[in-house]
Each structure stands twice: as C-alpha cells, then as structure tokens.
Amino acid sequence: MEVFLMQLFNGISVSSILLLAALGLAITFGLMGVINMAHGEFIMTGAYTAYVVQNLFQAALPAGMLDWYCPAAIILSFLTAAVLGYVLERLVICRLYGRTVDSLLVTWGISLILQQAARSIFGSPNVGVKAPSFLEKSLRITGMLSLPYKRLFILVIAVVCLVGVYLLMYKTRQGRNIRAVMQNRDMAASLGVNTRRIDSMTFAIGSGLAGLAGCALTWIGAIGPTLGTNYIVDTFMTVVVGGAGSIVGSVFGAGFIGVGGTAFEFLTNASIGKVLIFLCVIILLQFRPKGIFAISSRALEE
C-alpha cells in the first residue's frame, strides 16, 4: 500500500507538470485554432533560463546565498518564455490562423530551429540544475512513504498558476474579453475588443506557463535541447482529453494522463503502460471527440 501511495503521489506530481504546460496550450488552442508543435520548446526555454540564472548566482553571490536563485529563476523562466512566445506570435503565428495544416508544419519547423539554437548555445549534452537546499529533504509520512519537497513545491506552483489563470479568465475584464473572442471572434471585435492584442497577450501567457513547467522540470532531472519533445505529446493529449479552452478540462486531462499513466506503469511496465494510456485516450475520444469538458470555441466549431 505504501508503494502504491508513493506511485500515486508521483502520478500527481507528473500531472502538476502537465497541467502547467497544458494550461496555456488549452487556452491558445481554443482561442486561435493553431496546433503549436513548438510549445515544448517554451518548456525547454524555461528550463535553460533556470540553468542560466543558477550559473549567474553561483558566479556573483556567496555559496550561502545560492538558494535565492530559485524565486529569480521562477520569475525569469515565465518572462523569458512569455517574451519569446509574444515575438513568435507577432512574427509568425498571427499569419497561421485558420490554417491548421500550415500551423502544424511551420511550428514544427520552429521547434527544430529552437532546438538547434539551444544546442549551439548550451551544447548537446544534458545539463543539471541543483535544487535549492530547502527542497532537498522529504516529508516522511511512514517508514517507507516519504514525499520529496521538490515535488510538493512543484505541486504548489501548479495550484498557484491554476488559481491565477482562473482569476484571470473569470474575474477580470481581460479574461472576459478572452472568453468572448474564443466563443465568437467577430462579435467580440464588433463590440470593440482588440482581438489581435488578445491573441498576442494570451499566447504570451500560455508560453510563460510552459516556461514555468520547464523551470520545475530542472529540479527533478537533467535538461537538454530535446526536453520539450519528451512532454509535447502528453501535453497535447491533456488538452484533447480535457477539451480545448477549458480550465477544468486541463485539470482533468492532466490527472487522467499523469495519474493514469503512472498507475499503468506501476501495474505493468513503462512501455506497456504508455500503450495502455494511449488506448484509453483513443477509446475516450470515440465517445467525446471534443474532450470531456469541451466548450464552444472557434477552433472546435471549425
């Protein structure tokens, strides 16, 4: 039972990372109808930003103050990925609305360019980021069951971001405009909503959340130029299962993929577990092709 509970916690931890990556993708996909294959590279951007911030703090501050890189890395990972997403949206993505196949090919090309840029700057070998000392310990529940502080901290970040996105979408004027554009772009524009600004801002926020996911990933494993490709498929499955544009759907999809995949791997092995979770997704989409919590949006209607 203790081993099972530990695996369940690991699944929830994976779900929290998927949720961070999928929140932004769910909103931008529901808003713009663009299949962004470069979303994983925003995760990579956030991870490498945390790596650079750590190195700068190591070079500039005494060893006892190294832990202060953590809040700086979290903020800068979000901002760096958000700025990159904003620039890409203004230069490239804005020309791909309504062109699903073209968006798939172009963003895949962008992902390859960003991966090669990372190899040129940081090299091909994986690099590591040392977690702050206060995250190195574990919360011991029983003799065998202990919860690493690193994964608990990632879970807290995911919950904070989830609450933030909810407040943005449902408690602010900007969020109301986003939901209006998702439901009926032409009507929103006729009522004075600047749809271009909404697109750019939303894409930047979604990219920033992916950067946060990348920062979180640095504390549980090595990072490299292909980091994003390891998570992009699961992130898209999270969005598709939950429903594009739905916050509740993103939470459900992240739990379904993260906890379900971990449970299958625990009961079988890594390869068969992956096959089984894909099979469950296929079966689910046969009955709910728009996702469990699908909402009316331009992307789904088209």
pLDDT value of residue 59: 85
Burial label, 182 (beta-carbon count in 10 A; 0-12, 13-18, 19+): buried
pLDDT value of residue 302: 45
Q: Whole-angstrom Cα distance, residue 122 to residue 44?
A: 12
pLDDT value of residue 220: 85
pLDDT value of residue 121: 92
pLDDT value of residue 163: 92
pLDDT value of residue 300: 43
Mean pLDDT by 10 residues, the chain (302 residues): 76 86 79 80 93 89 78 93 93 81 87 93 88 82 78 90 90 87 84 87 91 90 86 85 81 88 83 87 85 60 45
